């Protein structure tokens, strides 16, 4: 390849890769697979290695620096990044609205509403479309230079795309970590013996302030633009909604929850709607932000102190509460992991009464300096999992140290901590009742074999009576055995037998997930099922073959390989298959007729569960999401559909009742 040929090819590759980045990160609508994208990037890297004179600062290959910076230097923002005034109740929001109307002499205001991300605010400077620098908010006037780390976030374009690129643009936005990314990050940190982060915000801030961008590149950072600072360009930006639209056209991601709101009552409705869905959002938020949409009205209103008069943050009530830690007990999981669990004096957090909270492991207890008897702040991580956030040391008195047990509190087997692991594990294996019980609970769970009526208390009773010791024993249970149990009766026994029989017709991916292979969740189970198509093929797979699959690394590959080399596990699988568990062959699957289409399910379906509907759609190639946006193609609704249905109607998105949905998927199965 000549230099001229190389130049043409790298120009073509960069344009193509940047377009795919825009489709993936700004529009959330990828048009090629990850493998195809990686192939393009690999080709570009190879050509640049052969012709280093062709490397330019905005090449997609130049996101991670070679060596760490020595310090984070100061950067002066061209226009200050001011704070926002806060409202903590409806009266304060109404007062804000009245002040604006009185100042502008109008009867009603068109607002722009957005979620208030709980992350780290940054300012990104583009000149002639090229990313020049990026800095944290700092004191609003001077921030820290984090350009080397911002470049590692693939959502942020190194060069703006689209038309009418401004000569100068300061982009204001928030760097965040999703709940899923945060859990994965902390899990990896524990395995490596590294620092475990208290919450996604701290993780995002710590990741963005690294001196070594190679560390930042390994962190699951996301970015959302929510405004601009200084701007020099030909496009007239006359409303905040117009600014967000332009930012997205230039390649920057913006929140799908942003919308225009006519009057303060619409703002109150928006606040309540987001509040209802807060626990379902991918990121932490601590409120919503309302801005006067019209830019000329913003200029007329001006600023007071260090905040604009035309914007306000309406905060949600705090999701952290104070309570006393009464005791620390050990919970033994299905992999033998010993997890310290805090027993708390009951406290309501976000409308949910919490009596227990995870302490993760002994390292976390030491790091947070938690002692039995302490007063602590607790929260629901991701608004779901209760955890101890911090200790209130000012209230400490009559406390005692917690010590990890040397033997399993359930079976008495030795407890060991393997090199490189943060957790202690019981070595009892299948002789440990706790591990068996947890394995059976997982096997029967809704997303696994979905055995209705088989709960934890019943499983414990069956185990204690010696009626079951493994998951395979479940399918040998009889009506007579079950009807003689406490609080069962003949009807309940008959229902459970029916549920067990119904569970025998499943899918390969559910069966794989139900087996409880360490680190194999729903997504990995789906990957294995779709690639290998039979359980026998997975049993024969080598670690090298497994590692070639998407999202399966060396650790997970080793866990899968080890699981299928254990005679005990193979025996249980064989017994389950002989009991009648079966699934349709992947060869009989329908074509991907819904590929590229996005569905949202809402309300109660009668002819199938929402999980079953989701599986049907995924099998047909559809993407199923939890929230409605302009990118949604269909909203399937059952009884009591709620706000998702209403939003679909407002956005003009096609809705399907259950009957129409059934017709659509049945028709698709015949294609």
Q: Which two tokens stand for residue 500?
A: 């067990």
Going through 385-529 in order, the beta strands assigned E by DSSP cover 385-391, 415-416, 424-426, 505-506
Angle between helices 3-21 and 34-50 (to 10 degrees): 150
Cα separation, 85 vs 313, whole angstroms: 6
Residue 116 bears catalytic tag: yes
Helical spans, DSSP H, in 600-670: 610-619, 643-651, 658-669
Contact between residue 472 and residue 438 where contact means Cβ atoms under 8 Å apart: no
Rounded to 10 degrees, the C-alpha dihedral 317/320/321/324 comes to 180
- Please report the sign of the dihedral spanned by the C-alpha atoms of residue 440, residue 446, residue 451, residue 452: positive
The count of other CB atoms within 10 Å of the CB of residue 355 is: 13
The catalytically annotated residue of 39, 79, 98, 116 is 116
Rounded to the nearest 10 degrees, what angle do helices 610-619 and 658-669 cross at?
Answer: 30
Q: What angle do CA 56, 59, 65 make, to 5 degrees?
A: 85
Q: Are 429 and 411 in contact (CB under 8 A)?
A: no
Torsion, CA 455, CA 459, CA 461, CA 466, rounded to 10: 160
- φ, ψ of residue 353 in degrees (nearest 5): -80, 125
Residues 285 and 79 sit within 8 Å (Cβ to Cβ): no
What are the Cα distances from residue 178, in Å, to 184, 283, 334, 335, 655?
10, 5, 27, 26, 29
Q: Which two tokens stand for residue 33?
A: 């697979």
Pairing of strands 623-625, 598-602: parallel
- Rounded distance between C-alpha atoms, residue 279 and residue 352, angstroms: 12
Rounded-to-integer distance, Cα 526 and Cα 519, Å? 13
- Residue 598's nearest CA partner among 559, 651, 555 is 651
Q: Are 342 and 368 in contact (CB under 8 A)?
A: no
Contact at 8 Å (CB) between 286 and 118?
A: yes
Tokens of 442: 């997982």
Distance of CA 670 to the CA centre of its chain: 35
- Kindly list the distances between the CA atom of residue 394 and the CA atoms of 128, 364, 512, in Å, as whole numbers in the listed order: 54, 20, 49
Distance, in Å, from the CA atom of 261 to the CA atom of 162, rounded to the nearest integer, reads 28
CA distance 240 to 226: 9
**Residues with catalytic annotation?**
116
């Amino acid at each position: 390849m000549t230099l001229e040929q190389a130049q043409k090819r790298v120009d073509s590759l960069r344009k193509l890769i940047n377009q795919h980045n825009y489709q993936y990160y700004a529009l959330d609508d990828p048009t090629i697979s990850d493998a195809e994208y990686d192939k393009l990037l690999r080709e570009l890297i190879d050509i640049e290695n052969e012709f280093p004179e062709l490397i330019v600062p905005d090449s997609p290959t130049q996101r991670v620096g070679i060596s760490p910076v020595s310090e984070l230097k100061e950067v002066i923002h061209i226009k200050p990044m001011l704070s926002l005034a806060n409202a903590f109740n409806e009266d304060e929001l109404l007062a804000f609205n009245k002040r604006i109307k009185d100042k502008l002499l109008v009867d009603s205001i068109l607002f722009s509403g957005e979620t208030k991300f709980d992350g780290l605010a940054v300012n990104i400077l583009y000149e002639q479309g090229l990313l020049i620098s990026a800095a944290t908010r700092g004191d609003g006037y001077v921030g820290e230079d984090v350009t080397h780390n911002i470049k590692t976030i693939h959502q942020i374009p190194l060069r703006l795309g689209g038309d009418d690129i401004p000569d100068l643009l300061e982009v204001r936005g928030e760097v965040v970590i999703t709940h899923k990314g945060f859990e994965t990050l902390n899990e990896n940190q524990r395995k490596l013996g590294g620092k475990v982060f208290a919450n996604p915000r701290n993780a995002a801030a710590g990741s963005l302030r690294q001196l070594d961008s190679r560390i930042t590149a390994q962190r699951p950072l996301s970015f959302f633009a929510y405004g601009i600072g200084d701007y020099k360009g030909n496009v007239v930006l006359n409303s905040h909604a117009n600014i967000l639209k332009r930012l997205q056209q230039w390649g920057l991601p913006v929140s799908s929850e942003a919308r225009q709101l006519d009057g303060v009552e619409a703002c109150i409705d928006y606040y309540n709607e987001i509040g209802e869905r807060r626990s379902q959002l991918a990121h932490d938020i601590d409120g919503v932000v309302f801005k006067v949409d019209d830019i000329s009205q913003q200029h007329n209103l001006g600023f007071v102190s260090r905040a604009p008069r035309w914007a306000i943050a309406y905060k949600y009530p705090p999701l952290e509460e104070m309570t006393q830690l009464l005791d620390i007990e050990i919970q033994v999981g299905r992999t033998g992991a010993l997890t310290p669990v805090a027993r708390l004096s009951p406290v309501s957090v976000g409308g949910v009464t919490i009596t227990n909270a995870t302490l993760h492991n002994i390292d976390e207890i030491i790091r947070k300096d938690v002692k039995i008897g302490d007063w602590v702040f607790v929260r629901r991580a991701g608004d779901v999992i209760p955890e101890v956030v911090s200790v209130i040391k000012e209230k400490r008195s009559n406390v005692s140290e917690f010590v990890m047990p040397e033997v399993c509190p359930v079976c008495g087997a030795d407890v060991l901590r393997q090199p490189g692991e943060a957790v202690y594990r019981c070595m009892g294996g299948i002789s440990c009742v706790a591990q068996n019980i947890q394995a059976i609970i997982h096997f029967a769970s809704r997303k696994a074999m979905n055995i209705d009526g088989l709960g934890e208390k019943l499983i414990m009773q069956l185990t204690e009576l010696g009626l079951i010791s493994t998951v395979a024993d479940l399918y040998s249970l009889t009506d007579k055995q079950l009807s003689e149990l406490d609080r069962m009766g003949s009807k309940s026994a008959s229902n459970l037998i029916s549920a067990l029989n119904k569970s025998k017709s499943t899918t390969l991916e559910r069966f794989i997930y139900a087996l409880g292979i360490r680190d194999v969740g729903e997504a990995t189970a789906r990957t294995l099922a779709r690639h290998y198509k039979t359980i026998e093929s997975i049993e024969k797979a080598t670690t090298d073959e497994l590692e070639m699959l998407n999202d399966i690394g060396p650790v997970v590959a080793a866990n899968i390989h080890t699981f299928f080399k254990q005679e005990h596990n193979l025996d249980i699988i064989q017994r389950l298959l002989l009991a009648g568990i079966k699934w349709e062959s992947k060869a009989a699957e329908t074509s991907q007729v819904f590929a590229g289409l996005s569905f949202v399910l809402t309300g109660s379906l009668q002819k199938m569960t929402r999980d079953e509907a989701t599986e049907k759609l995924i099998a047909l190639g559809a993407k199923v999401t939890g929230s409605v946006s302009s990118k949604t193609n269909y909203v399937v609704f059952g009884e009591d559909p709620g706000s998702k249905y209403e939003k679909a109607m407002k956005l003009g998105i096609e809705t399907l009742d259950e009957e129409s949905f059934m017709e659509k998927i049945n028709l698709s199965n015949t294609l």
